[in-house]
Structure 1
Amino acid sequence: MIKRCIAYGAAMLVILYTFLIYDAEVLSAILILSILYPILSLSWLALTRKSLRTERDRVPEMGEEGKEIRAGILLKNLSRYFAIQYEVKIVVTDRNREEKAVKICRGNLAPESSETVWCDFETTECGVLEVSVESIRRYDWFRIFYLTEEKEEQSLIKIFPEYELIPMEITRRVREFQADDTEYAQDRKGDDASETYQIRSYREQDNIKDIHWKLTAREGKLMIRERGFPLGCVVLIWIDYPEGKKEKNDFSGMVKNAASLSVTLTEEKCIHLVAWYDDLTGKVVMWRVKTVQDACYMTWNLLDIHPYKRTDWMNECRKECFRGREFAAVIEVDASGRFWQNGQKAEYLRI
C-alpha cells in the first residue's frame, strides 16, 4: 500500500506540474479528480468494510493419504448496491512438517452474490493440514487503493494413512491370556469366577470346585458352572512421541505404522489397548480397540498427538496409569515408526 501511495503521489506531482505549465480546463478537472480520488476511495472502502464475508463450510474434515483434496472458501457480498473487487490469500499448512502452500485468488463480486474459491492440493503423507484464510484485500474501482483485513480463520483436515497389514505371529499364550473386563466371550469358557459361561452336567475330568451345589440339589445330579472368559485388552501398543529434532517423515511413519498394527491385530481378533502421553493435558490417552471401526476412531485422535517435553513426567504418568494391569505383550512405536519389544528393535513381531 505504501508503494501505491508513493506512486500515486508522484503521478499527482506530474499532473500538478503539467497544470502549472499549460493552462487548460481539462488539466484542472484532472487535478481536482486526482485530489478527490483518494478521499472517495478510502471512504468507499470504509463503507463496505463489513460487506465481504467468508465461510469455510466447504473444507472437508478428512482426507486420504495419496489422494487429491479439494477445499472451498465461500465468499459472500452482503452489500445490496456495491460490487466488491477482492484478493483473498489462502494458506495450507502441514502442521507436523511446518510446510506451507499459498494460493492467492482475485475476483469481482456483484451485489448480493457469492463465489466459491477452490484450492486443490495433493497429499503424500498422513497428518493434519490447516486451511486458513490469512487475509482479504478489498480494492477500489480502479484497483489503486485497498484495505487489508487480517483473518484468523482456519479449518483442520485430518489425512488418514493407508493401512497395511503388518507381518506378525500371535502365539497361543496371547490368545489364551485373560485380562479383566466387563465384556465376556460367548464362544469359550475362561477362569473368571465372577461370570458364568454356561451350566452343564458333570463330567469325570471336571474340577470339584466348579460344582454348582444349589442346582445340583435341585436337579438331583451333579451340575457344573463354567466360568467366563473376559475380553480384556491383552496387548498394549504404546506410542512414544518425544519432542526433539525429527526427520521429515517421522510423524507420518509413526501414525501409519501404529494404525496398521492396530488394524492387523483386529483382523487377528486380538483385542488391544493403544495409549500415548498427551503433553497438553498431562495424562495418558487410552483407546480400547476391538474392531476396525475402533482402530479408525483411535487413528482420528492419534493425529492430534503433541510431542512431550519431559520424559520423567511421561514415565511417571505411564507407570501410574498401568499400575496393577497386566498385558500378554507390550509393543512400543517410536517417533520414527519403528517397533520395539522388550527394549529391542523388532523387525518381525512375534507376541
Structure 2
Amino acid sequence: MISFIITIIVIACMAYMSLIYESTSLVRLCVAGAMFLVVAFVYLMIRRKMIKCRINAPITLVDANKTINLRVMVRNNSRMITDKIKLQIRYSDTRKIRKKWISLFLAKYGENEFTIPVMLTDAGYYEFEVHKCHIYDRLGLFYISKRFSSSAGLMVLPEPKDITFRLGERIRNFYGDSDIYDDVRPGKDSGQIFDIREFRDGDKVQRINWKLSAKKGCLLVREDSQPKACPVILFFSVRRIGDKGYRADAYSKALESISSISFALMDKGCPHFMVWNSKSRNTLIRVRVDDEESFFLAMTGAMADSVFQEYEDMKQAYREKYRGEIYVSEIYLKNDKLMMDGESVTDGEIVFK
C-alpha cells in the first residue's frame, strides 16, 4: 500500500509540473501513470479476493531439538497470472512473540503447498499463526495486504525429573467417591463386586450370596470393591507471555516441576486430579491422572488451553464447582514457587502426610 501512495505522490508532482510548464508530454505521462495505477489496483483487488491461506502441523506433540515441517496451503481461485506473495508468520518461543516474513511463489491455479521447517528447543506450547499476506503484482512494484486467522499449535513436553515420594497412611488408605475401582484390594463399596469367595470364620452372614451358594453347594461371600478416589489435587496455573510477571525461566521450570510431580504420583500408583482454568471454556477443567495416557492428556490439555489464575481464586472456584468433595493434599504454584499444603516444596524427597 505504501508503494501506491508513493506512486500517487509522484503522479501528482508530475501533474503540477505539467501545469507550470504547460507540457503536454508530462500530461500524457501522468494520464498513463494514473491508468497503470488503476489497472494494478483492480488486478490486485481481484487477486486478494481469490487467495486463501491456512497453516497446519502434521503432529502436535514433538520432541525438543528436532525439526518438524509445518505445512502452509495457499489456494489460488483465480486463473489470472500469479506470482509472488509474502506471508507473515507470528509465533511465540516462550521468550517473546516473534514475526517472520516468508516469500512464496504461486505456481498454479488451485492448491499450492509449502513446507516451513521449524526446530523447538524449550518445553512449552507454541502457536504459529498466518497473520497477514502481501500480494504483489506481476512487476513486483505494488502489493496489497490481506489478513488471515489460521493457526497451528505445537507442543514440547518437559522431561520429567526424578522425584522421591513417601506416601503417608492418609494417601494410601484414602477412601472417597469414584467410578474407578481398585483391582487389587477389596473395600466397602457395595455398589461394585470385587470378588466372590468361600465363607470364612468371622465373615458376616449378610454378605453371603445365597443364590450362588445354592448352585455351588457351599457358602459363598461377596467382597465389595474399593473406589480409587483421588487424594491429591494438582493445580496447573502458569504465567504465559503477556501475563504480568512472566519470566521465561520460571515458565520452563514450572512446567518441569508440575510434569515431574504428576508423573511421579502416577508411577507410585497414586491417582490425582490435574486442574486448570480453561481459556476456551472459561471454567475449571480437571483430568484424572492414573496412567501414561491420562498423564499426556492432562499435560497437553493444560499447556494448550490454560490461563493463569491465582491459587486462592482457583481453589475457591474448585470448591464451588465440586462441593462436598474431600481430598488429602493440594499442590500448586505461588509466586513461581511450588507449594504443597502451604509449605514450599524443594528438590529431593517429598513427604505426603
> What TM-score comes out, normalization by structure 2 length?
0.79
State the 1:217 CA deviation: 8.0
Shift in Å, 1:35 = 4.3
One-letter code aligned to 1:258: I
| 1:9 CA displacement | 4.4
Paired amino acid for 2:151: Q
Letter in 2 for 1:166: I
Counterpart CA distance in 2 for 1:276 and 1:16 is: 66
Partner deviation per Cα, 1:318-349 (whole Å, 9 max, x = no partner):
2334543333x413120566432331112231
What displacement does 1:281 show?
A: 5.4
Instruction: Sort the Cα spacing of 1:264 and 1:40 in 2 relative to 1 into closer, same or farther, 3 A.
Output: same
Looking at structure 1, the residues matched to 261 and 44 of structure 2 have their Cα atoms a distance apart, in angstroms, of 57
Distance of 1:266 and 1:76 partners within structure 2: 46
Identify the residue that residue 349 of structure 1 maps to in structure 2. Answer: 350
8 Å CA contact retained: 1:60, 1:71: no
CA deviation map 1:120-175 (0-9, x unaligned): 33323333322222221222232222211123333333333333343222345533
Tell me: CA distance 1:170–1:217, structure 2 relative to 1, closer, same or farther (3 Å).
Answer: closer
Letter in 1 for 2:258: A
Give 1:152's aligned residue.
Answer: 149
The aligned residue for residue 80 of structure 1 is 79
- Structure 2 partner of 1:225: 222
Is the counterpart of residue 245 in structure 1 residue 242 in structure 2?
no
Cα 1:16–1:36 change in 2 (3 A) is farther
Aligned residues of 2:125 and 2:153 also touching (Cα < 8 A): yes
Q: Secondary structure at the match of 2:274?
A: strand
Q: Is the 8 A contact 1:201 1:223 kept in 2?
A: yes
Letter in 1 for 2:208: H
Counterpart CA distance in 1 for 2:246 and 2:45 is: 47
Aligned equivalents of 1:257, 1:187: Cα separation in 2: 30
Q: After superposition, where does 1:308-323 map in structure 2 within 5 Å?
A: 308=309, 313-323=313-323
Pair 1:102-2:99 in alignment = yes
Mapped to 1, the partners of 2:77 and 2:125 lie a distance apart of 33
Q: Is the 8 A contact 2:332 2:340 kept in 1?
A: no
Per-residue deviation, 1:215? 6.3
- CA positional deviation for 1:54: 1.2
Aligned length: 344
Aligned to 2:222, the other structure's residue is in SS state strand
Q: What is the aligned-residue RMSD (CA, Å)? A: 3.7
CA contact (8 A) 1:236 1:330 kept: yes
Letter in structure 2 aligned against 1:142: L
Cα distance between partner residues in 1 of 2:74 and 2:111: 5
Q: Which amino acid aligns with 1:212?
A: I
Q: Is the 8 A contact 1:238 1:330 kept in 2?
A: no
| 1:199 to 1:62, Cα distance in 2 relative to 1, 3 A | closer
Counterpart in 2 of 1:56? 55
The one-character-per-residue Cα deviations of 1:8-47 (angstroms, maximum 9, x if unpaired) are 74488579979x99x999x998666434321221222233
Q: Name the CA distance, whole Å, in 1 between partners of 2:258 and 2:17.
A: 73
Distance 2:30 2:284 in 1: 71
Structure 1 equivalent of residue 185 of structure 2: 188
Q: Any stretches of 5+ residues in structure 1 without a counterpart?
A: none
Residue of structure 2 equivalent to 1:161: 158
TM-score (ref. length: structure 1): 0.80
One-letter amino acid of the counterpart of residue 287, structure 1: V
Segments of 5+ residues of structure 2 without an aligned counterpart are none
1:181-209 alpha-carbon deviations (Å, 9 max, x no partner):
233233332233443323333434x3446
Aligned residue type for 2:224: R
Residues 218-261 of structure 1, C-alpha deviation per residue, up to 9 Å, x if partnerless? 47766543332222223322335587423323333333322332
Equivalent residue, structure 2, for 1:292 = 292
Q: d(CA) in 2 for partners of 1:133 and 1:121?
A: 15
2:128 counterpart SS class: strand
Shift of 1:269: 2.1
The residue type equivalent to 1:141 in the other structure is R
Q: Answer yes or no: is the 8 Å Cα contact 1:200–1:225 preserved in 2.
A: yes
Write the distance in 2 (CA, Å) between the matches of 1:111 and 1:216: 75
String of CA shifts for 1:275-318, please: whole Å, max 9, x gaps: 23447756432211121101111112111111226x76534322
Query: Which range moved further: 258-267 or 108-117?
Result: 108-117
Contact kept in structure 2, 1:61 and 1:158, CA below 8 Å: yes
SS at the partner of 2:261?
helix
Matched residues in 2 for 1:252 and 1:112: separation? 44
Give the distance between the partners of 2:217 and 2:134, measured in 1 at CA: 90
Matched, 1:255 2:288: no
Native 8 Å contact 1:76 1:115 kept in 2:
yes
